[in-house]
Structure 1
Amino acid sequence: MKQLHLLWLAGFLGSVSGCPEVCDCGEKYVFQIADCAYRDLQSVPPGFPANVTTLSLSANRLGDLEAGAFEEVPLLQSLWLAHNEIRVVAPGSLTSLVYLKSLDLSHNLISNFSWNDLHNLSALQLLKMDSNELAVIPRDAFKNLGDLRSLQLNHNRFLTLVDGTFEGLTSLSHLQINDNPFNCTCGLLWLKVWAVATAVSIPEQDNIACSSPPFLKGIPLGRLPPLHCAPPTVQLTYQPNQDGAELRDGFVLALHCDTDGQPPPEVQWRIQTPGGKVEITSPNVGPDGRVPGVAGSPQPRFQAFANGSLLIPGFGKQEEGTYSCRATNELGSAEGSVNVALASPGEASEDALGRKFHGKAVEGKGCYTVDNEVQPSGPEDNVVIIYLSSTNPKKNKANSLELLGPWILLLCFSHLIF
């Protein structure tokens, strides 16, 4: 049906005449062809017939492609742009070409490509992007290219490819990815496994080789030795600044994010308080709690240390909220979260919340006190409640929790991998 619609459109638009003076336009084998190759062009010329289905602009000096560059020729099925000087393919430059089957962008200088434009090109069967300066492909770049049969990405600057990059290419039969400077770390192991298992033809596999790290340089990906790799894990725990001492509004809250994984994961803190959201992507203080290299600067409200600890001096109502620690490496992410609330017994809603977690501790699940750690029973068990209460120690009915000075601490942590 789509092909019939295309033929009807071509016939309807066939009466539109004209052709750029530097190009040759005509019909060949029912295709409307515009040949502009080898014309020393520096930009896409205007004035094409609207029914053009094949456009060759190869071997010119074309620069960056701008949005709407091919809106004059919406019926294109083949577009040849090889051997030019294109560095940037701007968003919107290709989106109008919904009938395009063949696209050749090889032998250019492209480092900035609008991958989202490919989402519109669902009819594409051939895509040549070899011999460019491309370094990154988003995981979903090819998600709508179910008809693509041949993909050429060789001779670019890819250090890695994200797991699942070729997942949506259900018709793919030919793939070239050789001669890229691959960094053979844990994040690229999936490609080795996929290349062995796939029915896709992948030529020059000995040239799909490691450029780094140095001890693997030159080794083909298919002969890569086993690497020690593990996805991240996270355990978020709490430590009061003075065990067993009287703690009141304004004490220091300390959280510790204990992570594991190979390669060692990077840690990010996400903090949501009534005043807004804070993200800390790297340590903001040195081991002494001061901002490094800035003499006399005030201490940050949230102090993130290199060892995974987060310190909140002067904790009060304004610091209530959700504290999340996220660990990420090449193999995935893990996150632990804890909700912190400051309350007084007499406030009905907070007392009810307290009774819920008292009950879980009595049952031996969900929470732990400072002296008694228990594994969490579910993702909802991630609340710290700090009670400011009377100075007389009490015990609950089950004799399982004790008021330490004027406070009770309940802590639950989440341990999620995805």
Structure 2
Amino acid sequence: MMGPVLAACLLIILSTAWISQANEALCKKDGGVCSCNNNKNSVDCSGKMLTAIPSNIPVETTELRLGLNSLSKLSPTAFHNLKELTYLNLDSNQLQTLPEGVFDQLVELDELYLNRNQLKSLPPRVFDSLTKLTYLSLGSNQLQSLPEGVFDKLTQLKTLDLQTNQLRRVPEEAFDSLVQISEVQLYDNPWDCSCRDILYLRNWIREKQGNVSNIEAAECAVDNKAVLEITEKDAASDCVSPNTTTAIPIGTMTPASVIYDDIHEIKVPQENFQKFLGYQEPDHLPTQPQCLMSISGYLGLMMSLMLTSAAILYVFHFLKKA
């Protein structure tokens, strides 16, 4: 009766191996598209044409790089299992909005990169849980305004990048909680120096001048006059809704991503395909790296099934003899 026991053990081992392969195909060594450094708990998925965040990122990951991809939206729970993250890079994607609560579980986060996306606005209190954050990059987006109190909890922040956006003002007391701040990038924004509420920014720049780097580079949109030099007479207008005015266009060329977004996506049945890949958003067509990962995974699956079938036949053969 030793034969059937050995066959049953083989069946269990093969089944376990198949499940492991299906769940862990994230890193290149396992047939995935990302590079993993297990010693440093680092996962690098940069530049892989990803349209969705892999759902099987190890929970112990501390550094996650997702830049230079094609991410256009995030699930509100995209990072809720990654509570150990200290570094998150999402730069150079196609994000136009951030869902509320998307960063709520990242209480250990130290650096957050959101630059070079297409962000037009931020949800209220989106950074409230990031009380250990020291570096925040929001540069080269299309932000037209900032929510009231959006930086209020970032008392450890040292660097804030807001350059090259469409900001015309900041809310009253917007920077007052940034007690550790040492650098703020404010240049290449169309600051509206005709409105009275620009005086908060002017006063803050004057107060921090010499202690906070690069703030002097903020210039008025109309005459390129430095914001810190404007007078109460310059800012005499009582602008009721300064953020509803037409934003100054960044460039005259239409981004390729806008053209792409105008093309309706072709919907194809791919539920099983996405479940095997472990990706969160089934409404996107698979990218080339995902297809490669899928082919590799299915080849492994077919091999596992063949070996499993052989093991089952082996069991039946010995049971029949018994």
> Normalized against structure 1, the TM-score is what?
0.48
1:18 corresponds to 2:29: no
Tell me: CA distance 1:265–1:62, structure 2 relative to 1, closer, same or farther (3 Å). closer
User: How many equivalent residue pairs?
Assistant: 211
How far apart, in 1, do the equivalents of 2:185 and 2:145 lie? 16
Q: Distance in 2 between matches of 1:228 and 1:155?
A: 23
**Offset of residue 19 of structure 1:** 5.5
The aligned residue for residue 186 of structure 1 is 196
1:228–1:159: structure 2 CA closer, same or farther, 3 Å change rule?
closer
Q: Which runs of 5+ in 1 are unaligned?
A: 1-16, 230-261, 267-418
Whole-angstrom distance in 2 between the partners of 1:32 and 1:19 = 16
Structure 1 position 139, deviation (Å): 2.9
**Does residue 195 of the first structure (1) align with residue 205 of the second (2)?**
yes
Q: Does 1:223 align with 2:229?
A: yes
The 3-state SS of whatever aligns with 2:147 is coil
* Correspondence 1:17-166 to 2 at 5 A: 18=24, 20=26, 21-28=32-39, 31-166=40-175
Contact 2:117/2:141 (8 A) holds in 1: yes
Q: SS at 1:34's partner residue? A: strand
Give the 3 Å change call, closer, same or farther, for CA 220–264 of structure 1 in structure 2. closer
8 Å CA contact 1:37–1:60 kept in 2: the answer is yes
Deviations 1:381-414 (A, max 9, x none): xxxxxxxxxxxxxxxxxxxxxxxxxxxxxxxxxx
Structure number with higher strand proportion: 1
CA distance in 2, matches of 1:92, 1:193: 32
Q: Secondary structure at the match of 1:205?
A: helix
- Percent of aligned pairs with the same amino acid: 25
User: Residues 200 and 68 from structure 1, CA distance in 2 versus in 1: closer, same or farther, beyond 3 angstroms?
Assistant: farther
C-alpha contact 2:52 2:71 (8 A) present in aligned 1 = yes
CA deviation after TM superposition for structure 1 residue 228, in Å: 6.8
| One-letter identity of the residue aligned with 2:200 | W
Amino acid at match of 1:70: F
Q: Is the 8 A contact 2:196 2:232 kept in 1?
A: no
Structure 1 residue 138: Cα displacement = 2.2
C-alpha contact 1:110 1:132 (8 A) present in aligned 2: yes
In structure 2, the partner of 1:367 is none
| Change in CA separation of 1:37 and 1:197 when aligned onto 2, cut-off 3 Å | same
CA distance in 1, matches of 2:178, 2:215: 20
CA-CA distance at 1:186 after TM superposition: 1.4
Deviation at 1:219, TM superposition (A): 1.4
- Alignment partners' CA distance in 2, 1:75 and 1:175: 27
Q: Does 1 or 2 have the higher relative contact order (CA < 8 Å, sep 6+)? A: 2
- Match of residue 280 from structure 1: none
Q: Structure 2 CA distance, aligned partners of 1:202 and 1:139?
A: 24
Cα contact 1:55–1:76 (8 A) shared by 2: yes
Secondary structure of the structure 2 residue equivalent to 1:145: coil
- For the pair shown, which has the larger CA radius of gyration, 1 or 2? 1
Give the Cα separation in 1 of the matches to 2:71 and 2:176.
Answer: 33
Report if aligned partners of 2:133, 2:154 keep a CA contact under 8 Å in 1.
yes
Tell me, in whole angstroms, the C-alpha distance in 2 between the residues paired with 1:204 and 1:179: 12
Q: For the Cα contact (< 8 Å) 2:196–2:239, is it kept in 1?
A: no
How large is the RMSD of aligned CA atoms in angstroms? 2.0
Task: After TM superposition, list the pairs within 5 Å mapping 1:15-414 onto structure 2.
Answer: 18=24, 20=26, 21-28=32-39, 31-184=40-193, 185-198=195-208, 199-203=210-214, 205-206=216-217, 208-212=218-222, 217-227=223-233, 263=237
- Aligned partners of 2:37, 2:118: CA distance in 1, in Å? 31
The Cα offsets for residues 7-39 of structure 1, whole Å up to 9 and x where unpaired, read as: xxxxxxxxxx935221122234xx310010011
Q: Deviations over 1:135-155 (max 9, x none)?
A: 111231111111111100110
Deviation at 1:265, TM superposition (A): 8.3
Q: Please tell me whether the aligned partners of residues 65 and 90 of structure 1 are also in contact (alpha carbons under 8 angstroms).
A: yes
What secondary structure, in the 3-state scheme, does the structure 1 residue paired with 2:233 have? coil
Distance 2:137 2:52 in 1: 20
Q: TM-score w.r.t. structure 2 length?
A: 0.61
Structure 2 contact 101–126 (Cα < 8 Å) conserved = yes
Name the CA shift for 1:144/1:48 in 2 (closer, same or farther; >3 Å).
same
What is the one-letter code of the residue matched to 2:105?
S
Sort the Cα spacing of 1:78 and 1:38 in 2 relative to 1 into closer, same or farther, 3 A. Answer: same
In 2: Cα distance, 1:204 partner to 1:228 partner: 20
Instruction: For 2:213 and 2:185, locate their aligned partners in 1 and report how far apart those are by CA, in whole Å.
Output: 6
C-alpha distance in 2, partners of 1:264/1:161?
15
* Contact persistence 1:33–1:53 (CA under 8 A): yes
Q: Check whether the contact 1:66–1:91 (CA below 8 A) recurs between aligned residues.
A: no
**Cα pair 2:88 2:112 within 8 Å, conserved:** yes
Structure 1 pair 66–178 and aligned structure 2 pair: CA distance change class (3 A): same
Amino acid across the alignment from 1:116: R
